[in-house]
Amino acid sequence: MNVSGTVPPVCTLPLGPGGTPCADAGAPVVLSALQVSVLESLLAAPATWGGDEGKCSLPLHGFAWLRADGTIDRQIAVSLLCDKVEGAAAVPGQPADEASRGLSGDGKLALRALCADLGLPRCHITRPEEAFAL
């Protein structure tokens, strides 16, 4: 999501008002039906959650669900470096009052694997200085 390398990132979610891509966003990747199913199953699994979310916020990846008319249904930002998902209230089955939620170790590994499967950059970085080295 944050391809410009700004710290802090310009946006905290992939899409802005009206569904316009964040200024930091790279080219969108459209997920296949199978990839959407994998993502939604992962987000619905209790084992994905439970880690202590970091105090940092470097969301480098985001997912947005759009309605047929192109408006935003829901969206999340994934901060693998900070072990959290922002916009967690948009995740089905998660508490509606949570702005962010910590990832478990297994949840982070699964999201990294999905990220790599989608061909996205920065899926396996482990230090903040690696985030903008591309």
User: 1 near 86, Cβ under 8 Å?
Assistant: no
CB count within 10 Å of CB 53 equals: 19
Alpha-carbon distance 92 to 99, whole Å?
13
Q: Determine if the pTM surpasses 0.85.
A: no
In tens digits, what is the pLDDT along the chain, a chain of 134 residues?
555 555 666 777 888 766 778 877 777 888 899 999 999 999 989 999 887 766 777 778 889 888 888 777 888 888 888 888 888 666 766 666 667 888 999 999 999 999 999 988 888 888 877 776 65
| The pairing of beta strand 61-66 with beta strand 84-86 | unpaired
